[in-house]
Each structure stands twice: as C-alpha cells, then as structure tokens.
Amino acid sequence: MIQSMTGYGTASCELGEKVATIEIKSLNSKQLDVYLRMPNNYRDREMEMRIELANRLKRGKIEVNFNLDFKEGKHATKINAGIVQNYYRQLKAIADELGIPQGETMLQAVLRMPDALNNEKEQVDPAESTRLLEVLSSAINEVELYRNTEGSAMAADIAKRIRLIESFLEQVEPFEKDRLQAIRNKLDSSLLEFIPQESLDKNRYEQELIYYLEKLDISEEKTRLLHHLRYFLEVMEETDQVGRKLGFVAQEIGREINTIGSKASHSGIQKLVVLMKDELEKIKEQLMNVL
C-alpha cells in the first residue's frame, strides 16, 4: 500500500535529572538523507540511530533533533573562579593603563576566554543510551503512522485520477470510425485535385490507403494504455516500496497517451488527450512524495 515520504513524530522520556526529546521530520527525496543533531555526550550511539532510521524509514530527507533538557535547578555549568579572576585582573590592568572604561562587558569577555567555564564531558550511563534508542523507536512509530495516513489519502486521489484517464480513453471509441472516414475523404479529395479519376489505379490506391490508415490506427496504443492503467492500480496494492515502480509505469502511460495524440488527427480525440495528460501530470506530482 502507498506510503507518503512526508511524516512527523516526536517522543520523550526522563533520564534521571534530564528530559530527552527526539523529534523527526521526513520530507520527500530521491534517496535516504539523514540529518542528525544530538548532544556530543551521546555520539557513541549515532551509528545505531542512523541504522535504525535507515531500516525503518527507507527513503526521504530525514531531520532528527535530539534535545536534552535538565530539570530546574539540576544542572548549571561550573565557572572556574580562579581562572576568571586571573583573566579579570589582567584585563583590568590593561584597561586602566589605556584609559578604557570598565563595565559589565569586561566580565562577559572574560567568561568567553579559554577554560573560564568547566565543560568537562559528562559520562553517560549505558542504561540511558538503551532508553534513548527506545525513544527513537517510538518517534519512528509516529512517523510511520503519519506516512500511512497521508499515503491512504494520496492513494485514493491517485486511483481516482487513473480511473478518470480510463474514462477519457473509453470516450475515444465513438470518434474512431468518423476519424478514419474523415482522413480517407480528405485523401480522396486531395488526390483528385492533381490526378484525374480515370487515370487513377484504384487497386494501388487502395493498397496505399490501407497502409496509410494502418499507420494512423491507434488500437494498439489504446490496448497498451488500458493495460498500463490497470497494472498501475495493481502495483499500488503491493506492500513493498512502490514509488519508483509507479513512476516507471506512469512514464509508459505518458508514452501511449502521447502516441495517441500524435496519431489522432481529430479535434475530439485531441481534447481527450489533453485531459488525460493533465490528470497524468497531477499523478506524477503526487508520486514524487510516494515512498
């Protein structure tokens, strides 16, 4: 069944004094592109997370944001007081010597100096890493649910348009007999303008006429087009990723519609061809987002 490549999911959990939240956004793409933002402390789990995302989401532009928030009052970056004081004294002495006014900006500058803040890497409990993968799985579940829901809506719309193309194809039939007769009459009148009727080799003329009319016959194209339309609906019911396969079938549908249009030589059929092309273009736009 059709799945959309567009999806969204989020999940969170408590990890001791922290709250971990994973948000996943999925958009259409020709291949799998994963963009993962996460705290450095958890980078050792990045490869596992990427493998899980690839195995389950298959294709699309996947943006993953892993945020870690500390509960109120539980975490604050430590200031290296001795280093800050030393920096401040040195900067104050330089400012006094140069006559530069002093203020809060000096303290802000000091805090940006090397080693002013204690940024030691926090050790991660292995149990937290395991729990993190469970949260990721929950977020992916939401993305898959979103994809399925949107995919069902897309499938209904695409199937409706395929049946519209089939209905336009059925409307070609009444024009067929008139079309061929009109072509024959036009050839007869054009030929008689240059060749007297008594000088015409009727047997040879009939043979050439039949050959010409066979070249303009669209019966095979109509049969192939009908087959492609029905095959398209069959592929939509397959359980595997069908986006690329449906794209190939849509190309074949377009090829047959174009051939019918080029052979038609009839305004009524040409109008139906335009309608079929319009519906096919709308289908192709939808297929760009099908997994």
Q: Domain containing 137 — which CATH number?
A: 3.30.230
Q: Are 58 and 43 in contact (CB under 8 A)?
A: no
Residues 15 and 94 in one domain: no
Residues 263 and 155 in one domain: yes
Residues 228 and 264 in one domain: yes
pLDDT at 246: 95
The answer to whether position 16 is within a domain reads yes
pLDDT at 162: 97
pLDDT at 196: 60
CA distances from 48 to 45, 53, 54, 124, 133 (A): 5, 9, 10, 16, 8
pLDDT at 205: 58
Q: What's the token pair of residue 179?
A: 């079309």
The answer to whether position 2 is within a domain reads no
pLDDT at 89: 82
Domain count along the chain = 3
pLDDT at 88: 80
The answer to whether position 106 is within a domain reads yes
Residues 256 and 232 in one domain: yes
Residues 140 and 28 in one domain: yes
CA-nearest of 37, 46, 57 to 129 is 46
Element housing 68 (H / E): strand 60-70
The answer to whether position 1 is within a domain reads no
Residues 51 and 140 in one domain: yes
Residues 51 and 139 in one domain: yes
Residues 33 and 132 in one domain: yes
Give the list of residues 6+ apart from residue 238 with CB closer than 8 angstroms, or none: 1, 245
pLDDT at 121: 54
Residues 215 and 95 in one domain: no
Which ranges of the chain have pLDDT less than 50?
none
DSSP 77-129: PEE-HHHHHHHHHHHHHHHHHHT---SHHHHHHHHTSTTSEE-PPPPPPHHHH
Domain extent, residue 140, equals 7-74+126-146
Residues 166 and 224 in one domain: yes
The answer to whether position 210 is within a domain reads yes
| Three-class SS state of 259 | helix
Residues 173 and 215 in one domain: yes
pLDDT at 190: 58
pLDDT at 79: 73
The answer to whether position 213 is within a domain reads yes
The answer to whether position 45 is within a domain reads yes
Residues 104 and 207 in one domain: no
